[in-house]
Each structure stands twice: as C-alpha cells, then as structure tokens.
Amino acid sequence: MIEAKDLVRQFTSGDRTIKPVNGVSFELGKGQLASIVGKSGSGKSTLLSLLGALDKPTSGDVVVDGVSLAGLPDGKLTEYRRRDIGFVFQQFNLIPNLSAVDNVMLPMEFAGVRTSARAQRARELLEQVQLDPEKQTRRTNRLSGGEQQRVAIARALANEPKLILADEPTGNLDEQTGGHIIELLSSLSRDHNTTILVVTHDRGLARKADRRFRLQQGQLVEEAAAARN
Amino acid sequence: MSVLARSVGNAFRNKIRTAAVVAVLAVAIGLALSMLVANQAVGAKVQELNASVGTTLTVNPAGGQGFEGGGEPLTAAEAATAAAVPNVTSVVGTKALRLRTETATTDTANAAAGTAQPGAGGPGGQAGGVTTSLTAAIDAGTLGNRNNNTGSTNGTGTGTGNGTEPVRTFTLPITATGTAAEVDSSGKALDITSGTGLGDYSAASTKALVGTTLAGKNKLATGSTFTVAGKTFTVAGIFDAGTTFGNNAVYLTLAEAQALAETPGELSSMVVTVNSMENVDSTKTALQAALGSSKADVTQGQRNLETAVSSLNSVKGISLVAFIAALATAGLIILLIMVMLVRERRREIGVLKAIGARNRTIGLQFVLEALVLVALGSVVGAAIASFASGGIASALISSSSSSGAGAVDQRGPGGGFGGGFGGQGGPFGGATQLLTSVTASASPGVIAAGITAVFGVAIIGALVPALLTARIRPIEVLRGE
Ligand SMILES: Nc1ncnc2c1ncn2[C@@H]1O[C@H](COP(=O)(O)OP(=O)(O)O)[C@@H](O)[C@H]1O
Ligand SMILES: [Mg+2]
C-alpha cells in the first residue's frame, strides 16, 4: 500500500549536516497497524513528514498504491494529503476558535463535500471517537487534551484516508487517557481496515501492532512482531 | 462552515485587536472619504464657475472706473470693432442708468443731490439720474445713514438745505440696464423666474424685466406697470440674479435705455464673450489693442472668479492628494496587519495545508478576513466622513482662501454696483462668498465610489500577505513540537 524507497532527509545548519533519515526502506500493507519507536531526536517525525508529503526527501521516494510522490507537483501533493492521508499530531493541532464539528468538517470542505453531508458525517465520526454530543459544538480550545485528540482522530478519518500517520498521539496525555486513544486507533485499524503508522513510546500500543519498527542512526529496523490479541 | 464564515470568525478572534484595527482603519477611511467628498464638491463648483462666467471680458470707457464715469463713452462702432476681434463670439452692449425714486417732498433737488453725490458705485458717479415710481428693495441701513449725513452736508453746502430739515429717508438707487441680449453684466443668461424675456432686445420697447426683490418691494408681477422718467413700462418678466444687489435692478432693451438717457448710440459697457477659456487672455490683449487703450479698458470680468477658481483648484488638488494618501494609508494598515496575522498563524496555516487545504483557499480566507476588517472600518469611516466632510471641506477652503483669494481684491459679479458694471471693487460678494457657497455634502454616490476605491486598495494590500501564505510549507505544522 505504501512503500518507502531509500528515503534520505538531510538538514544543514551552518557547516553541520545531519541526516535523521538516512536510507529508510519499508513497505506496509493495507489495514496494518505499525508502530515506530526511537529516541527523541532520532528522526521519527521527520520520517512521518516525508511519508505524508509535509516535507520532501533529499533523495529516495515514497510510492503509494503505485504512484510515486517524487514526481508530483505541489498541487498533487496537496491532493494526496487531502485524500489519502490523515494526520494525528502530538499537539492535536486543531483550529482553536472552531467547534469540534467544524474542525472535522474542514478536510471535507477542502475535498468539496456538500455542506449537509459534511455535518452529518462529522457527527457520525465524533460519535465513533466517543466525544460527548454536547461537546461537539464547543470550541476545541475549551476541550480537554484527550477530547481534543479524539476530535483530531475524527478529523483524520474525515475523508476516509488510506493511511493515518500518528506522531506520538498520546505524548501529551496522561496514561489512562492515552490508553483510550490507543484503544481507539487499534479498533479503527481493525474495523475500518485502515493502515495506521504510529510513532509511540506506549508499550501497550507496541504490543497491539502488526509491525514494530525502531528508528536509530537514520535507519529503520523491524523488530519481531508480537501476536496481536 | 465556509471560507467566508471562517474569515469572519477569524476577524473577531481577538476582539480588542479587531476593535483597534477597525478604529485606525476608520480614521484613515473616514479621512479618505472626506477628502473625496471635498474634492468632488470643489470640482463641481469650479466647473459651475467656469461654465457661468469663465469666458467673458468687460469693456468700459477708458479711465471710467465708476458708474457712467470717465472719458468718451463707447459707441456702436466700438462694439463692431470688438465683434471683429478673433475668437470673440458675441458682443453685448449695455447702457446702465441709475433710477431715483420720485419723492413727494418739495425738496427734490436736495434729495437728488444727496442721492447722487455719494456715488455708491464708485468715483465719478453721475449726478442727477432718471426718476422712477419704483422704490429700491435694499434698506439703506448704515450705508444709508452715512450717506444721509453726507447728503445733509452737501445740502448745506449748496445752500438749499436748512438746519431744521426733518430726517430724510434715503433710498439707494435702482440700477436699470439696457441690454442688447438677455444676459447680465457678466454675460450670463438671465434667470427669468416668471413671465417672459423682452423679445427683440435691439428695439426700443416699454417692456421691462424686474429683479425678484425689487418686484416684491413694489408689489409688481408680470403685467404690472411702473414709470421711468414719466414713461409707463410693463413688467414682462421677473428675474433672479442670485444676489440682493443684482435683484434690485431693472433690465430694459438697449435702445430704450439709450433713449431714456438721451444718449442714443452710447454704451456704458460691453460684455464680450470669448469662444473658450484658453483664448480669454490672448483675446483680452487683442481686444485692448483693437479698441485702443485711450478709448477703452478691457477687464476680465471673472478676475475675481479666476482667483476663486485657482484657490478652489488648489483645494481640489490638496484634497485629491490627501484622498490618495489616506487611501494608501488604509491599504498599508491592512498590509501590515495581515502580514502580522500571517506570521502569527504560520503554524495554523501549516495545519490547514497538512489536512489538504489548497493555497488559494487559504489565500482567499485571508483576503476575506482583511475585507471584513475593511468593511467594518468603512462603515465607521463613512459615518465619520458624513459628519466631518463638511467641516473638513470648509476648513480646507477657508485656510486656502485666506492665503489666496481672501487676500486679494474681492470683486464679485453682481456684488454691489461697482463690481457688476466694471467699477472698482464693491464690498459685497467676491471670492469668499463663492468659496463658502461650496457645499460639501457627503452624497451616497461619492461615498460609494470612495468605498469602492478603499476596497480596491484593501484587496491589493491583502493580496501581498495572502500570497505569503502560499510560501508557508505544510511542515510548519511540526514547528515547536
Ligand atoms: N527543519 C529542520 N532543520 C534542521 N534540523 C531539523 C529540522 N527538523 C528536524 N531537525 C533535526 O532532525 C532531527 C530529528 O528530528 P525529529 O524528526 O523531530 O526527531 P523525533 O521526532 O524523532 O524526536 C533532530 O535533531 C532535529 O533537530
Ligand atoms: Mg517528533
């Protein structure tokens, strides 16, 4: 479904050059739940941004369902992010002055979905991520961290993406709340057959993952997968 | 939730800042609109002035500055000479008479002397005059009292008065002008408010046109009669000259006036119309040369208007510059505010891009947000302008006229006896009166045009930051994580 081919991303600051991603290759199949662990600053976020076309690799390529991102113009990359990718960030990154429903409707608006269909689907998604109905119209900066992350997951699902990229989705949440979010992602991948790649330090999620990767020295190393229970 | 709704929402995200921005914008927009209103009002006035009397020259007998004063009177021969000068489109000869109200007192001689000597029209006033049954519409007032005293002194001097004479009522003379066309002394068509004109202005006729106030004072209407030098005249029409003095007057046909004055063929002045504004100066020189400076004085009837027009034109220029400056300021305010907002929302723009927003969607959102601010600023600014534009316009005009027109000779057409008939400057009318008559009212059309311009500038001002959003990369979403 998604394939990374010898990805390299190098940053130059002054005369110092670092390569947090230095020759990463792997492939994920449809509906798989994969986890990436690694030390802070090891390049996990950098790798995710290359896979989600937030950033362009110095060399290498990402191929999604047979389409190479390397050859696409910016407009097509925007379309790729809109249609094929759902992002979940550590900082939630919701639009703070919009309601939960409005946030979830945004990707659909960008995709040209009719207004009435948008609202309908947004409410369904918020129900799926178990956000209290009375909080759906509340401005998201008035929601708790766990609630915000639920809204963010609902927003990531809005356009039925092929791949959800989650960068430390529980990093800003307490253990219990984080546990609920992990449960949610895990059940989504199972129920919707959505491919999910999660950067996490959470052992529970790592245990649930079909594929487990570790990023070190710019290289991605696959670890033996635990049986999914 | 649409782009527009989001833009409106964003415009009110920080209410205090929005209020401050709107207030600053409103001042700039209000100033711009006021300047535009002033500019339009002044422009309209300039056009009106130019259209009314812009192209006429007045010819008087040489040395004759006053009423009927000076040297050799002008004749039909001079009128023909003037008509032959290039660029002259018409020559209208006039013969002015001063009418004196018949009094019932036996002291006629004294009254006549008293009336004639002060010469309100200037030096060299003609003694005597023609009697009429009409009473002047202008109260002598203080001028009358002053003249009355002079009259008494004169009376004593001529030995006809006596010390015990009761207070005489002094009346100002009425101007009767014989004219060869239906125009006033500045060449402007007479505004006949009721009745008709005199028909054939070249022939002697007992028909007359009477000014509104004079008609009112004497209870005259079309068809009424009055006498001049014992001869009965019929009111053919009532005209409105627009000024008090101008309306205290009678128009007769030229031939009739010449007959009454017993000076056939003589003209007291000629109004020469030139074909265009540009040719006025050269024609004036040519006309003076053709008539000879010993014979006639050619004056530019609108000299005072020229000063007024040039001072109005400078006001027009100043207001235009101020309009553009205020407009540019509004644009700059929008530009800076939006640049600031774009920088502040870098990360949020990154989020929008990460979830698939197109560059143009984001750009449009920021332009619309800017327009919401401008719309609010325009509403408040238009309110400011509708209150302030009148004051701003008159402040501009008075400061300009005190340094310009106000400082120079203020002669007005129809402003007193003198001004109207080419005499020395009268104290009435003049540039100031013209200037203060500029009414700068904020018309909806001008305000709408101004707001359109404001929006145009705002779009340009907002476009720069909107284009900046296109350069923000989606990776900005990870900044600070
Ligand atoms: N835009 C950038 N410019 C320079 N260095 C960067 C940039 N983005 C990330 N880095 C560096 O790349 C390395 C990997 O960062 P990141 O991918 O965020 O690590 P992780 O997500 O694993 O903590 C870090 O050393 C970071 O400082
Ligand atoms: Mg990271």
pLDDT of B16 above 70: yes
B250 and B376: one domain? no
Whether residue A106 and residue B357 make contact (CB cut-off 8 A), yes or no, is: yes
Span A79-107, mean pLDDT? Answer: 95
Contact residues on chain B for A159, CB-CB shorter than 8 A: 356
Beta strands in A80-121 (DSSP E): 85-88
Pairing of strands A85-88, A163-167: parallel
Tens of pLDDT along B373-420?
999 999 999 998 888 777 777 777 666 554 433 333 333 333 333 333
Contact residues on chain B for A74, CB-CB shorter than 8 A: 359
One-character DSSP codes across A129-187: TT--GGGTTSBGGGS-HHHHHHHHHHHHHTT--SEEEEESTTTTS-HHHHHHHHHHHHH
B-contacting residues in A 26-45 (Cβ below 8 Å): 45
Phi, psi (degrees; rounded to nearest 5) at B199: 75, -115
Number of Cα atoms under 13 Å in the Cβ half of residue B30: 21
Ligand (nearest to CA of A46): 1
Output the CA A197–ligand 2 centroid distance in Å: 14
Tell which wins on pLDDT, A49 or B299. Answer: A49
Tell which wins on pLDDT, B264 or B465. Answer: B465
B172 and B40: one domain? no
**Percent of chain B topping pLDDT 70:** 73
- Tell me the pLDDT band of B112, cut-offs 50, 70 and 90: very low
CATH number of the domain bearing residue A40 = 3.40.50.300
pLDDT of B96 above 60: yes
pLDDT of A146 above 70: yes
Span A90-102, mean pLDDT? Answer: 95
B76 and B197: one domain? yes
Tell me if A229 is assigned to some domain: no
Q: Give me the pLDDT at residue B415, please.
A: 33
Span A168-188, mean pLDDT? Answer: 87
Q: Give me the pLDDT at residue B141, please.
A: 55
Q: Give me the pLDDT at residue B480, please.
A: 63
B29 and B77: one domain? no
pLDDT of B465 above 90: yes
Q: Give me the pLDDT at residue A108, please.
A: 96
B238 and B103: one domain? yes
Helix, strand, coil % over all residues of chain B, rounded to 5: 55, 15, 30
What mean pLDDT is reported for chain A? 92
Domain total of chain A: 1
One-character DSSP codes across A8-45: EEEEEETTEEEEEEEEEEEEE-TT-EEEEE--TTSSHH
Whether ipTM tops 0.90, in short, is yes
Sign of CA dihedral B382, B383, B384, B387: positive
pLDDT of B190 above 90: no
pLDDT of B155 above 70: no
Contact residues on chain B for A49, CB-CB shorter than 8 A: 475, 478
Span B1-22, mean pLDDT? Answer: 91
Q: What is the separation of C-alpha B437 from the centre of its chain, rounded to a whole number of angstroms? A: 6
Tell which wins on pLDDT, B354 or B129. Answer: B354
Pairing of strands A16-28, A211-216: unpaired
Of ligand 1's listed atoms, the one at least distance from the Cα of A39 is 22
- Tell me the pLDDT band of A140, cut-offs 50, 70 and 90: very high
What mean pLDDT is reported for chain B? 77
Q: How many Å apart are CA B300 and CA B303, to the nearest integer?
A: 5
Tens of pLDDT along B33-86?
999 988 888 888 787 777 665 678 888 888 755 444 556 788 888 888 888 898
Output the CA A41–ligand 1 centroid distance in Å: 6
Span B151-162, mean pLDDT? Answer: 42
Which residue range is the domain that position A142 belongs to? 2-223
B21 and B109: one domain? no
Nearest-neighbour CA in chain A from B374: distance (Å): 21
Tens of pLDDT along B302-344?
555 667 777 788 888 998 999 999 999 999 999 999 999 999 9
B273 and B372: one domain? no
Tell me if A103 is assigned to some domain: yes
Domain total of chain B: 2
Of ligand 1's listed atoms, the one at least distance from the Cα of B475 is 1
Q: Give me the pLDDT at residue B105, please.
A: 46
Task: Please give the torsion angle defined by the CA atoms of residues B406, B412, B418 and B424, in that order, rounded to the nearest 10 degrees.
Answer: 30
Tens of pLDDT along A52-67?
999 999 999 999 999 9
Span A113-124, mean pLDDT? Answer: 94
pLDDT of B362 above 90: yes
Q: How many Å apart are CA B110 and CA B158, to the nearest integer?
A: 9
Tell which wins on pLDDT, B197 or B409. Answer: B197
Tell me if A228 is assigned to some domain: no
B39 and B172: one domain? no
Of the listed ranges B47-56, B163-172, B471-480, the least confidently predicted one is: B163-172
Tell me if A116 is assigned to some domain: yes
- Print burial letters for A56-69: b (CB count within 10 Å at least 16), e (below 16): bbeebbbebeeeeb
Contact residues on chain A for B361, CB-CB shorter than 8 A: 110
Q: Give me the pLDDT at residue B230, please.
A: 87
- Claim: this prediction has a pTM higher than 0.80: no
Output the CA A184–ligand 2 centroid distance in Å: 21
- Tell me which residue in B2, B10, B477 faces A93 most closely, judged by beta carbons: B477
**Percent of chain B topping pLDDT 90:** 30
Whether residue A93 and residue B361 make contact (CB cut-off 8 A), yes or no, is: no
pLDDT of B252 above 70: yes
Q: Give me the pLDDT at residue B160, please.
A: 43
B312 and B434: one domain? yes
B21 and B66: one domain? no
Contact residues on chain B for A153, CB-CB shorter than 8 A: none
Nearest to residue A141, comparing CAs of A174, A95, A91? A95
Residues with CB under 6 A from ligand 1: A 11, 13, 18, 20, 38, 40-46
B68 and B36: one domain? no
pLDDT of B245 above 90: no
Tell which wins on pLDDT, B166 or B370. Answer: B370
Task: Give the DSSP letter of residue B427.
Answer: S
Span A139-145, mean pLDDT? Answer: 94
Whether residue A49 and residue B2 make contact (CB cut-off 8 A), yes or no, is: no
pLDDT of B107 above 50: no
Nearest-neighbour CA in chain B from A187: distance (Å): 22
Q: CA of A93: which chain B residue's CA is closest?
A: B351
Of B265, B284, B300, which marks where a domain is finished? B300
- Tell me the pLDDT band of A189, cut-offs 50, 70 and 90: confident
Q: How many Å apart are CA B260 and CA B266, to the nearest integer?
A: 12
B170 and B279: one domain? yes
- Tell me which residue in B347, B351, B356 faces A78 most closely, judged by beta carbons: B356
Q: Give me the pLDDT at residue B61, please.
A: 87
List the Cα angle A201/A207/A208 in 5-degree steps: 110
Are B234 and B208 spatial neighbours (Cβ–Cβ below 8 Å)? yes
Tens of pLDDT along B126-148?
445 788 888 888 766 545 444 44
**Percent of chain A topping pLDDT 70:** 98
Query: What count of other Cβ atoms lies within 10 Å of the Cβ of residue A182?
Result: 23
Nearest-neighbour CA in chain A from B3: distance (Å): 9
Of B249, B284, B300, which marks where a domain is finished? B300
Q: Give me the pLDDT at residue A138, please.
A: 95
Q: How many Å apart are CA B470 and CA B295, to the nearest integer?
A: 80
Which residue range is the domain that position B169 belongs to? 57-300
Of B300, B334, B351, which marks where a domain is finished? B300
